[in-house]
Structure 1
Amino acid sequence: MIIALDIETIRHPDVPPSEKDLVEDRCPAAPHHRIVAAAGVVLEPQTGWYEATRAVTFGEESVEEAGILEHLARALRNRPKLLTWNGDGFDLRVISAAAMEHGIQIPWLFSREVTYRYGVDGHEDMQDTTSQYGAARRGKQDAWARRIGLPGKMGVDGGDVAALFEAGNYDDLRAYNVQDCGQLAGIFLRREYVAGRLTLDGYWKSAGSLVALFERTEALRPIVEHERFNRKRFLLEE
């Protein structure tokens, strides 16, 4: 099983970054973040293709960090391959910091399969692999998504998360979270095809399965309804 994983965070109320931290880096280090949403889109490897089976909001309706983390920890007991965008630099580090605060064990995150930066068996940070681990400039997921016919960001980005949270717009926050996961899964499938690990028939079946998941999942449906969604380009239709 593969989980395209993404988290959303706000500044941790008990561990505010110093002024120096904010001057040196607009995104403070992992301990200064509190998780308010986590989601995944699940791809199940089949013979010659991937089936997009479901979207998951970890913690379900909870915005409490411990509840989100406990649900995520249960999902990771099965040792899925994780896909992230900047997960090595952010998402997995923040999850680790939260696990330390709440005393929640997540052994899979500390296994060599996940922590070895240049391996992709347990975790692939697609920001790293699309830039050849920094040999090229690291691009944004939004740009890679648009390049293959997906809409990318749709009016909300990471800078809006705190405002959505403070306003209690948790449904919009979770929808934004899972939409990032869905488009990350799409980037992965296209990369697998151009790398020769999927045949064209395998890609058509995989990408078609992902689009079908978008269409039947309320939070993901805006992806296929957006004006920038280019079905022919994403599905490689003639």
Structure 2
Amino acid sequence: MSLALSEPVMVFDIETIPDIEGGRRIHGMADLDDAGVAKALSQLRIQKTGSDFLAHHLHRVVAISVVLATRDQLKVWSLGTPESGEAELVGRFFEGIERYSPVLVSWNGGGFDLPVLHYRALVHGVSAPRYWDVGDEDRAFRYNNYLSRFHWRHVDLMDVLAGYQMRANAPLDEVATLLGFPGKMGMSGAGVWDAWQGGDIQGIRNYCETDVLNTYLVFLRFERLRGRLSPEGLAREEARLAQMLAQAEGAHLQDFLAAWQGAPETD
């Protein structure tokens, strides 16, 4: 039994920084420079919640990476180019859904990535009718759409594996490592702002790509868990990914492959 791919599967992840202009506008911080706005937003958030993690609508998307799997194709890449603005990145993401209607796969995409993308699409005037369809245009979407938590057109692995219980949520890095996959490589989400300020946009994109690779590997195990892959099918899909990585350009992809192949096997 190989991976059932009657529809394309698109694993995705986003990286974000503080929305400096938005925060400046909302809080009347015209007299502060960017660093000052970022610090002020962080302090306001700590005062309100005890954490400096900003509200969803104050995140600006700087990278979106995907693994696209079809019967005939498997690839990993980051949307746009390092020079692409947020509007282009968000627009490309929803254009892909519009064109291919893929099954979306994420880690905490329902809790973070998709709500952020909703707000940023709103900011930039992006149109995404296929994504927002709940059966008005396509009757099949009434029973399986991107927005309903318990449907399968978007599989938020963190949410599903936790049995939809927040107290059972686990970090991708730890689950990936538990399963013998590389886990976080290069940086963490907390380091994206510093990397952005230092001009290391490519480093952010590379890090995001390794995150979606971890997520895809966890997804393959999940497909085995729910009986959609046999042990032989899982081995074939993992071998297909390894072959793709071996042929891919980019030191970060070669490093990921080496870390994966060098990890001890799990039972």
TM-score when normalising by structure 1:
0.88
1:181 aligns with 2:202: no
What is the RMSD computed on CA atoms of the aligned residues? Answer: 2.0
Compared CA separation, residues 61 and 151, structure 1 to 2 (3 A) = same
| Counterpart secondary structure, 2:80 | coil
- Is the Cα contact below 8 Å between 1:151 and 1:229 reproduced in 2? no
Give the Cα separation in 1 of the matches to 2:52 and 2:168.
19
Q: What fraction of aligned residue pairs are identical, expressed as a percent?
A: 25
- Is the Cα contact below 8 Å between 1:149 and 1:229 reproduced in 2? no
| Counterpart secondary structure, 1:114 | coil
More strand by share: 1
1:117 aligns with 2:149: yes
Letter in 2 for 1:116: S
Letter in 2 for 1:117: R
Give the Cα separation in 1 of the matches to 2:159 and 2:42.
28
Greater mean alpha carbon deviation, residues 97-106 or residues 211-220: 211-220
Structure 1 spans left out of the alignment, 5+ residues: none
Letter in 2 for 1:42: L
Give the Cα separation in 1 of the matches to 2:243 and 2:261.
17
Give the Cα separation in 1 of the matches to 2:258 and 2:69.
22
TM-score when normalising by structure 2:
0.79
The equivalent position to 1:38 in structure 2, one of 64, 76, 92, is: 64
Task: Spell out, residue by residue over 1:9-55, the C-alpha distance to the aligned partner (whole angstroms, 9 max, x if none).
Answer: 000012234744333043222110000000100111x4xxxx66111
The equivalent position to 1:223 in structure 2, one of 235, 256, 260, is: 256
1:155 Cα deviation from its structure 2 partner: 4.0
Compared CA separation, residues 152 and 228, structure 1 to 2 (3 A) = farther
Answer with 1 or 2: which has the greater Rg. Answer: 2
Aligned to 1:81: 103
- Is the Cα contact below 8 Å between 2:94 and 2:131 reproduced in 1? no
- Is the Cα contact below 8 Å between 1:2 and 1:80 reproduced in 2? yes
1:136 Cα deviation from its structure 2 partner: 4.9
Give the Cα separation in 2 of the matches to 1:110 and 1:26.
31
1:101 aligns with 2:117: no
Q: How many residues align?
A: 228
Aligned to 1:200: 231
- Is the Cα contact below 8 Å between 2:42 and 2:52 reproduced in 1? no
1:231 Cα deviation from its structure 2 partner: 6.6
After superposition, residues 1-238 of structure 1 pair within 5 angstroms as 1-16=8-23, 17=41, 19-23=43-47, 24=49, 25-44=51-70, 46=71, 53-77=74-98, 78-112=100-134, 113-120=145-152, 122-134=153-165, 136-217=167-248, 218=250, 219-226=252-259, 229-230=262-263, 232-233=265-266
Give the Cα separation in 2 of the matches to 1:216 and 1:129.
32
